[in-house]
Amino acid sequence: MRLWSAKSSRDFDLKFFNEGNYIRAVEKKMQTETISKVLYPADNVIEGKELRFKQEYFLASATIHDVLYRFKKKHTDLRLLPDKVAIQLNDTHPALAIPELMRVLLDLENVDWDDAWQITQKTFAYTNHTILPEALEQWPVWFFEQILPRHLQIIFDINKYFLEEVAKRFPGDNARLARMSIVEEHWERKIRMAHLAIVGSHSVNGVAALHSEILKQQLFRDFYEMYPERFNNKTNGITQRRWLKMSNPPLSELIDDYIGNGWVTDLYELEKLKAVATEPEFVTRWQAVKKLNKEKLAAYILKHNCIQVNVDSIFDCQVKRIHEYKRQLLNVLHVITMYNRIKENPAGDFVPRTFIFSGKAAPAYVTAKLIIRLINAVATVVNNDPEVGDRMKVVFLANYSVSLAEHIFPAADLSEQISTAGTEASGTGNMKFALNGSLTIGTLDGANIEIMEEVGRENIFIFGLTTDEVNNTRSKGYNPRDYYSKLPELRRVLDQIAGGFFSPGAPDLFRPIVDLLLNHGDYYMLLADYTSYIACQDEVSKLYRDQNEWTRRAILNTAGMGKFSSDRTIAEYARDIWGISGLCQGRRIPPAW
């Protein structure tokens, strides 16, 4: 692994220093070193800043030059590069490596265009990570003109040859040429980095089965029709060494006692747990481990949030980046619905819940920041209502990170994976939860679908519209106000948020959130999924009353997680894309695409 950092070759400009202009003397050095100073924190959204563009070029270029430096120590014929090197583009962020390699081959190594293009295409492969339009990188042509003019010439040439090929294959289809062009010509000319990545690679993959189908049928349909053999799927995975063995020692040791430790290097070994899913001693020990992990998280919550939670309640967790498509707000609608039900019927028999949220929002993402504020505001009302008592608590854990995540997954009973169908490329949090014996409540989105296939439809809580239903509903004209009018429980919740019930000192604070749902189209269709989500949560509560049945299903979730090891994912990349099969030995991986 290489972590590049930008350093100025000249510490300061002596000329300016001698003139007494000390700021100018170090300005160049400062500017250069800013390039690698910050990681842009935006997630699933582009940061169209010039500094980000320079940073992407800096990192891609440094890597290309290092790769070639090491290749040339052993080889002289650059046409061997694809046999010795594979470059997997992790999203389009490093896609400038394509014109950079072309530039080096053409201008520095005197390779002719056709050979250079063959070498490049065979070396690169591209993994797409999102279909959200606001996350698809498009750099203005004028950035290239000012900063990377030679790369722009090369991209224009790549595009010219590519469009000639398209025109030959689909004669007279000018609309298709405009759709597929690497250059977006509307208003401000831009380079579409995903198109560059597809054209410059021999493989294009999505990160879950549904996501890869959406790439072929929707986002990159034209490219799939042109190059069907390039498209394939590599379902994401997680490492059981971190997300079970290291982060959950008590559960790891219990599993070892019953099935040995083969699962550490072959996660399919967990299947052996199916045989003991109702074995009384195993079940009792499993429940004791979950309780212990919940007590540890409860201590963390008490220390950091000063909230005493009930360890016999359902630990209902949604921990992930805060984004509208992930629908933390839908979860909040359920929280408030449960609160209102308790207030309506204070003596009622409710299954207690602790709602745990954690996650960061990009600094400029105003709506996401407001959703965090709403979660905390709802928490203040709910947690301080004596009538609610320990039947309900709401916790927002600040500073979400891998280290914090390692404490949360082992303690979770319920995993919230509730994105609008068709928006979550894969998800990996869903896998970490299930591996640690949480039940999932989720939509048919991303890898949730494959988790359902592996653990069994009867062992997961599925609700909501499917991807096709989302698309159909949108094209027919979705009217969220229909749901507001028809559903009194939902209407009450939205009126409370909009009317300042949770922000008495600032009654309009959360109105913009309700406006998004009622007056701006509810793009992620929370209201369309509300009824089915609430009904599904009622099923969750009902099941939790039967602790042995809950535990049996939790064990079957862990037992079904074999497929979701990153060992399987990497073996598939190695065999299908990089042309090396050593990592497949003894692994159950599906046939090549």
Closest distance to ligand PLP from the beta carbon of 157 (Å): 39
β-pairing verdict for 87-90 and 461-462: unpaired
Name the burial class of residue 351, with classes exposed (0-12), middle (13-18) and buried (19+) by CB atoms within 10 angstroms of its CB.
middle
Q: Which one of the listed residues 326, 327, 353, 553 is annotated catalytic? A: 326
Site for ligand PLP in 179-218 (CB under 6 A): none
Residue 321 designated active-site: yes
Q: Which one of the listed residues 151, 192, 211, 320 is annotated catalytic? A: 320
Q: Which of 402, 476, 477, 585 binds ligand PLP (CB under 6 A)?
A: 402
Q: Count Cα atoms within 13 angstroms, Cβ side, for 193.
A: 25
Query: Quick one: 129 or 179, whose CB is closer to ligand PLP?
Result: 129
The residue of the chain with the least Cβ separation from ligand PLP equals: 429
Q: Which one of the listed residues 216, 323, 391, 432 is annotated catalytic? A: 432
| Residues 193, 92 contacting (CB under 8 angstroms) | yes
Contact window for ligand PLP (CB under 6 A) among 79-87, 106-114, 257-265, 399-407: 399-407
Helix H or strand E encompassing 318: strand 314-319
What does each C-alpha distance from 21 to 16, 17, 28, 416 come to in angstroms? 5, 5, 13, 57
One symbol per residue from 413 to 452: x for binding ligand PLP (CB under 6 A), - otherwise; what is it?
Answer: --------------xxx--x--------------------
Closest distance to ligand PLP from the beta carbon of 132 (Å): 13
| Residues 192, 169 contacting (CB under 8 angstroms) | no
Query: Quick one: 320 or 327, whose CB is closer to ligand PLP?
Result: 320
Q: Which of 314, 405, 465, 559 binds ligand PLP (CB under 6 A)?
A: 405
Query: Quick one: 206 or 427, whose CB is closer to ligand PLP?
Result: 427
Residue 11 to residue 25: CA distance in whole angstroms: 9
Q: CB within 8 A of 139, min separation 6: which ones?
A: 48, 53, 190, 191, 193
User: Applying CB under 6 A, does 237 fall inside the site for ligand PLP?
Assistant: no
Closest distance to ligand PLP from the beta carbon of 233 (Å): 17
User: Applying CB under 6 A, does 327 fall inside the site for ligand PLP?
Assistant: no
Residue 428 designated active-site: yes
Question: Secondary structure of 235-294 in the HEC alphabet?
Answer: CCCECHHHHHHHCCHHHHHHHHHHHCCHHHCCHHHHHHHHHHCCCHHHHHHHHHHHHHHH
One symbol per residue from 278 to 317: x for binding ligand PLP (CB under 6 A), - otherwise; what is it?
Answer: ----------------------------------------
Sign of the dihedral defined by the CA atoms of residues 168, 170, 172, 173, in that order: negative
Closest distance to ligand PLP from the beta carbon of 197 (Å): 22
Query: How many C-beta atoms surround the C-beta of residue 578 within 10 A?
Result: 16
Closest distance to ligand PLP from the beta carbon of 266 (Å): 22
Say how many residues touch ligand PLP, by CB under 6 A.
Answer: 10
Closest distance to ligand PLP from the beta carbon of 263 (Å): 20
Radius of gyration of the chain (CA): 27
Bridge partner residues of 461 (DSSP):
441
Residue 428 to residue 131: CA distance in whole angstroms: 17
User: Applying CB under 6 A, does 123 fall inside the site for ligand PLP?
Assistant: no
Query: Quick one: 408 or 494, whose CB is closer to ligand PLP?
Result: 408
Bridge partner residues of 440 (DSSP):
415
Q: Which residues of 38-67 are buried (b: 16+ CB within 10 A; e: fewer)?
A: eebebbbbbeeeeebbbbbbbbbbbbbeeb
User: Applying CB under 6 A, does 245 fall inside the site for ligand PLP?
Assistant: no
Residue 326 designated active-site: yes
Backbone angles phi, psi at 191, to 5 degrees: -95, 125
Q: CB within 8 A of 576, min separation 6: which ones?
A: 203, 232, 234, 592, 593
Helix H or strand E encompassing 492: helix 488-499
Q: Which of 52, 93, 211, 320 binds ligand PLP (CB under 6 A)?
A: 320
Contact window for ligand PLP (CB under 6 A) among 8-16, 395-403, 499-507, 525-533: 395-403
Query: Quick one: 410 or 429, whose CB is closer to ligand PLP?
Result: 429
Which positions are annotated as active-site residues?
129, 320-321, 326, 428, 432
Q: Note the residues at the interface with ligand PLP (CB under 6 A).
A: 320-321, 400-402, 405, 427-429, 432
